[in-house]
Structure 1
Amino acid sequence: MIETRNTVSLGTLGKRTVPRVGLGCMGMSEFYGPSDDAENLRVLSRAIELGYVHFDTSDMYGNGANERLLGRFVKTVPREKVFLATKFGIVRDADGGMTRGLDGRPEYVREACDRSLERLGLEYVDLYYMHRRDESVPIEETVEAMAELVAAGKVRTLGLSEVSVETLRRAHKVHPIAAIQTEYSLLSREPEAELLLTCKELGVAFVAYSPLSRGLLTTTLKPDDVQKGGDARPFLPRFAGDNFNRNLALVEKLKAFATEKKCTPSQIALAWVLARGEHIHIIPGTRREKYLIENFGAGSVHLSTAEVDRITRAIDVGQVVGARYPEAAMQGIGR
C-alpha cells in the first residue's frame, strides 16, 4: 500500500515540521556492501520527489564519503527542501579502519563541525548530533561547545545519540536538545524503559534508527543476502551463526498482519514504531527506489491501539538472540 506525500503524518524536529519518515543514508557509503554513487544520487533525488525532507548522515560513514555524497545531492535541490542531520564524536583510524575512539572535547567539536560543513559544501546543518558520548569529557562541556556552533550560525539545532536519560537531562539544561537518536524497533525496545517518556516530557523528538533491525523485520532477508563483500552484518551478534535464522523465524508473524492491513511486513514494523508516540521519527535506510517508496508509505499505515498491542505481543522481544552490536562497539552507548 503506497501512499502520497499528502497522507504522511508530520512531526516537529527541532525548529522544522517534517514528515516523520526520513532517510538514513549510511548504507549508501558503507556497511552494506558495494555501492554506486550515481544510483545513490538518483535515489536521493527520487526521495525529494516522494516528499522526504529529513536526511541523516555522519562524518564517520565511509570516513567522510557519505557527507561528500550528501553534499553533491544538496547542491541539486533548493536548500529549504532538505533537513540535513550529521554527527560527530566517533573517531576512526586515519586509514578508515574501524578501530575507533570517542572524542567529545570542545576543540574537537569545533574542528569536526568545520570539516563536515566543508565536505557537505554547506554553511550550516539543520541538526548536529553527538554520535556517541566521550565519558572522559563532562557532557556539559561538549554541549556548551555545540551551543557555540548554534550561536555562530553553523548549526540550527542540537542532538545526542545513544545516551542515557541522565545525560539527556544534564545536556538539556545547558542548551535545548532537539532530538535524541537511538536504535528502536520491534526487536530493540530498550528506549521504552525511560527514554521515550523523558523525550516526550522535555519536548525532544525521538529519532529511531534501524527501525527494521537492519533488514530482519522485512521478513525477506536471507543469509546469502548478507554474505557479499563489505557487508558488516555478519559481524553483528544477531546475524552470527544460527542467531540469524532464529531471529528470522521470530518475525514471521508480521506477514499475517501485513496481509490483514494490505501492506508489507516492513510497513507494519515501521508503522508500529511511529504508533508508539507522536514525537517519534524514523530513518530507515535504503539504496533502492522500491524500498524508498515502501518505507515512506509506512507513514500512512494506521494502526489502532488494539493492533499495536497485538503486534507487540506477537513479536516476543525476550526471544531475540544476540546483542545489537559486538561488545567493543557498545562503547559510548547508553552513557
Structure 2
Amino acid sequence: MPQRRKLLIAGAGVAAASFLSQASADEKTTTNLPSHGGAENLDSQHSAAPGKRRLGGLEVSAIGLGVQNMSRKYDTSVPWRPEMVNIIRRAYDQGVTFFDAAEAYGPLEVEKILGEGVAPFRDKIVIATKFGWNIDQQTGKRLPGLNSRPEHIRQVVEGMLKRLRTDRIDLLYQHRVDPQVPIEDVAGVIKDLMDQGKVLHWGLSEMGINTLKRAHAALPVTAVQSEYSMLWRGPEKNVLPTCEALGIGFVPWSPLGVQFLTGWIDANTRFASGDIRATESRFAPENLAHNLQLVELLTRWAKRKNAAPGQIALAWLLARKAWIVPIPGTTNRDHMLQNTSAAGLHLTSSEMTELSTSLDAITIMGQRLPDAVQVYSDVEAPLKSE
C-alpha cells in the first residue's frame, strides 16, 4: 500500500469514544474564550456536553459535516444519492449533530439530500443553510449577482423548509452580503422569521468586519462562516478577534483546503475542466510545488501522531479556539469517519506552539478564490467602507 494511502487511513481507527473526550482537550489547549456578553455566558461556554461546542448559544458537535458536494463533486461527477444519505446517517451515528448546506449547492439539490438524510433524527441535530445568491426557487437556475431583498429572503426560506423537510432552520447564514440591501434590512427580515419560529439563529458568511458589527448590533449573530484552514489563514487578522470580542462562533468552511491538506494532491495533480480548483492560482503548477511544503509538514506530524494529515489539520483548528467548529465535507464514508474522529486527536499547548511556528514559516503562493467569486467576498478587505 502506498505510504500516502497508509497515512490517510492511519487515523481512521481512532476510537469513536474519543470523540466524546474533546471537551477536556479543549480546556487544555484553548485560552481566551469569548465573553458572550458577560460572566454568565462565559460560563455557558464551558457547559457544552462532552463532544460538543457552542456557537454563541447554539450547541453543536465539535466537528460538523458539510454536504456541499453531495449533488456534484469538485471533479464534476455526480455521487450516488443513496450513499450520500447513508453517509449523513452514519455521521449522526458517530456523534455529528451539525450539518451544513446552502440553496446554492446543487443549486437546491443538496438541501433535498440533507432533508432526506436527517429525517429520522431531525429533532436531535442542527441544520445550517445559507441564502444570498440570486437563484430561482422554482427551477434552481442561477441568475446574475446576489439577492438579499426582503421578499426574496422570505421566498427562499419557504423553499428551504420544504426541501429540508422541516419546520425551522436552526442556523441561517447570509451566504454573501448583497451591497444593494442594507444589512439592517436583512436583520429585520431574519428577526421576523425568528418571531415566526421559522429561523432560530442567524449568521454571516464571507462578510466584512464593518458589516459584521452592524449586523450584530441590529440582531445578535450566532456564527460566522468563512474559509479558514492551514492553507488559508486570512480570518486570523480581523475576523477571529472580532468574533471573540462579540461572542460569535466561527465555522471554517473548507477546513481541509479543498482536499489539499489530506495529502491527495501532489505536484503532478491537474484538475478537470469545471473543477473550481482549476481556477484557483494556489493550485496552479507554478505555485503547487511550493505550496506542498505545507503537506510535507502535515505528513511529518501525521507520522508523529499516528494520524492522517487531514486529522492534524482539523485538530489544529479545534485547538485554536473552543468556539471554532470545522465542517469538513466528503462524499466518502471512510473519509467522513476519519474526519469526525479527528475530534479525539489531542495537540498539547507545546505541540500547538511548535506546529504553528512551522506554519508561520510557510508562505502560500497564489490566490484562494477565482476573481469571479472573490468579488463577492469581503473577508480580505475587512476595513472596507460599506
Common fold, TM-score beyond 0.5? Answer: yes
TM-superposed deviation, 1:289: 1.2
Cross-structure match for 1:51: 95
Matches of 2:291 and 2:73, distance apart in 1: 20
1:233 is the counterpart of 2:243: no
Cross-structure match for 2:125: 82
1:111 is the counterpart of 2:155: yes
Cross-structure match for 2:59: 17
1:248 is the counterpart of 2:292: yes
Matches of 2:294 and 2:199, distance apart in 1: 42
Once the two structures are superposed, the pairs formed by residues 272-283 of structure 1 within 5 Å of their partners are 272-283=316-327
Matches of 1:325 and 1:89, distance apart in 2: 18
Q: Which moved more, 1:151-160 or 1:3-12?
A: 3-12
TM-superposed deviation, 1:215: 0.8
1:6 is the counterpart of 2:49: no
Matches of 1:152 and 1:140, distance apart in 2: 19
Matches of 1:49 and 1:226, distance apart in 2: 36
Matches of 1:227 and 1:327, distance apart in 2: 18
SS in structure 2 at match of 1:59: coil
The answer to whether the 8 Å contact 1:211/1:270 transfers is yes
Look at both structures and tell me which one has the larger radius of gyration over its CA atoms.
2
Q: How many residues are aligned here?
A: 334
Distance 1:320 1:168, change over 3 A: same
Cross-structure match for 2:335: 291
SS in structure 2 at match of 1:101: strand
Deviations 1:5-30 (A, max 9, x none): 42244211354322220001001112
Once the two structures are superposed, the pairs formed by residues 60-79 of structure 1 within 5 Å of their partners are 60-75=104-119, 77-79=120-122
Which of 184, 208, 211 is residue 140 of structure 1 equivalent to? 184
Deviations 1:138-177 (A, max 9, x none): 1111111111111111011001101122211111111111
Matches of 2:274 and 2:70, distance apart in 1: 12
Normalising by structure 2, we get a TM-score of 0.81
Instruction: Give the counterpart letter for 1:78 in structure 2.
Output: F
Matches of 1:186 and 1:306, distance apart in 2: 18
1:322 is the counterpart of 2:322: no
Cross-structure match for 1:182: 226
SS in structure 2 at match of 1:286: coil
Distance 1:325 1:303, change over 3 A: same
Instruction: Give the counterpart letter for 2:21 in structure 1.
Output: T
Which of 343, 348, 351 is residue 307 of structure 1 equivalent to? 351
Cross-structure match for 2:39: none
Cross-structure match for 1:265: 309
Once the two structures are superposed, the pairs formed by residues 23-42 of structure 1 within 5 Å of their partners are 23-32=65-74, 33-34=76-77, 35-42=79-86
Matches of 1:101 and 1:171, distance apart in 2: 21
Normalising by structure 1, we get a TM-score of 0.93
Q: Please give the root-mean-square deviation of Cα atoms over the aligned residues, in Å.
A: 2.1
Percent identity of paired positions between Structure 1 and Structure 2:
37
Distance 1:37 1:317, change over 3 A: farther
Distance 1:15 1:119, change over 3 A: same
Gaps of 5+ in 1: none
Deviations 1:62-112 (A, max 9, x none): 11010111111122x222222100000012489767674111211111111
Matches of 2:246 and 2:368, distance apart in 1: 27
